[in-house]
A = this chain, B = another copy of it.
């Protein structure tokens, strides 16, 4: 059965460098959910994209201009968003920070090992 470990310790978890000022850690998951920590440097861009997964995100730190569909909003630490399946979404990082992205079902495309 597809499952992560029960506990994820930040210091023991690999940061994957995605280039262009974005890196990520893969946290807890099974077949129907996955939590991913995405770190953005200032001016890094989360390019507009869409996927069939439902996505909910929490802004752990930083300042982001977030676009979902044709809506745009500034999100700071403590805020969050919901990106429905197949709705285009993306962000521009204005102050460096971390997004906690959670997907259902899990992102099989993130498990490449």
Contacts and interface: CB of A to CB of B under 8 A. Distances in A.
Nearest to A71: B6
Interface string A75-97: 10011111110000000000000
B56 A34 contact: yes
Interface footprint category on A: 35 or more
B8 A33 contact: no
Contacts of A3: 82, 84
A63 interface: no
A6 B60 contact: no
Which DSSP category, helix, strand, loop or mixed, fits chain A's interface?
strand
A67 to B, nearest CB: 10
A72 to B, nearest CB: 10
B102 A35 contact: yes
Nearest to A75: B7
B82 A6 contact: yes
Contacts of A34: 56
B56 A7 contact: no
